């Protein structure tokens, strides 16, 4: 079992702030009360049917599940975790280009924007990992 250098996996404090802050404001976790504060309001007021809302929730749940598996790969201290991280990045990109784009087409970008934002953070973290890894080798 090979181990990777842990210092290339953990972002510096100032880099982590970029993941925790957006436009100088803390990033929220998407709960209903936070959604109302940020202007999303009650989903019943979005002009979508209950079936459409359920489809959007299913898309969101799928993205959250994929991201859970992605984030559990950090830090990739074994070759197995590194391989899984690579596979999960590919899976996220495929999901984004297929299912999420279709959901955007059906329900509008605003209704899946949060999913895109979560995926963008994962892609940015993966890119940071790749860059740090390449500077160490």
Chain segment 15-38, per-residue pLDDT in tens? 444 444 444 444 444 444 444 444
Higher model confidence: residue 54 or residue 22?
A: 54
Whether 40 is covered by a domain: the verdict is no
Q: What total number of domains does the chain contain? A: 1
Among residues of the chain, what percentage have pLDDT more than 90? 64
Whether 117 is covered by a domain: the verdict is yes
Q: What are phi and psi of 136, to 5 degrees?
A: -90, -15
For residue 26, the Cα-to-chain-centroid distance in whole angstroms is: 16
**3 state DSSP class of 96:** helix
pLDDT value for 40: 63
Helix H or strand E encompassing 123: helix 113-136
Whether 15 is covered by a domain: the verdict is no
Above 80 in pLDDT, residue 5? no
Whether 72 is covered by a domain: the verdict is yes
Chain segment 72-123, per-residue pLDDT in tens? 999 999 999 999 999 999 999 999 999 999 999 999 999 999 999 999 999 9
Whether 34 is covered by a domain: the verdict is no
Whether 69 is covered by a domain: the verdict is yes
Full domain range(s) for residue 64: 49-137
């Amino acid at each position: 079992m090979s181990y990777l250098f842990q210092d290339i996996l953990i972002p510096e404090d100032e880099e982590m702030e970029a993941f925790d802050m957006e436009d100088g404001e803390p990033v929220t976790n998407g709960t209903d009360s936070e959604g109302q504060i940020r202007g999303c309001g009650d989903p019943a007021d979005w002009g979508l049917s209950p079936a459409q809302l359920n489809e959007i929730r299913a898309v969101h749940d799928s993205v959250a599940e994929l991201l859970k598996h992605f984030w559990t790969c950090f830090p990739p201290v074994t070759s197995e975790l590194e391989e899984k991280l690579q596979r999960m990045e590919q899976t996220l990109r495929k999901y984004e280009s297929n299912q999420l784009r279709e959901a955007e087409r059906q329900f509008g970008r605003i209704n899946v924007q949060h999913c895109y934002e979560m995926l963008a953070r994962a892609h940015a973290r993966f890119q940071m990992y790749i860059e740090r890894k390449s500077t160490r080798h």
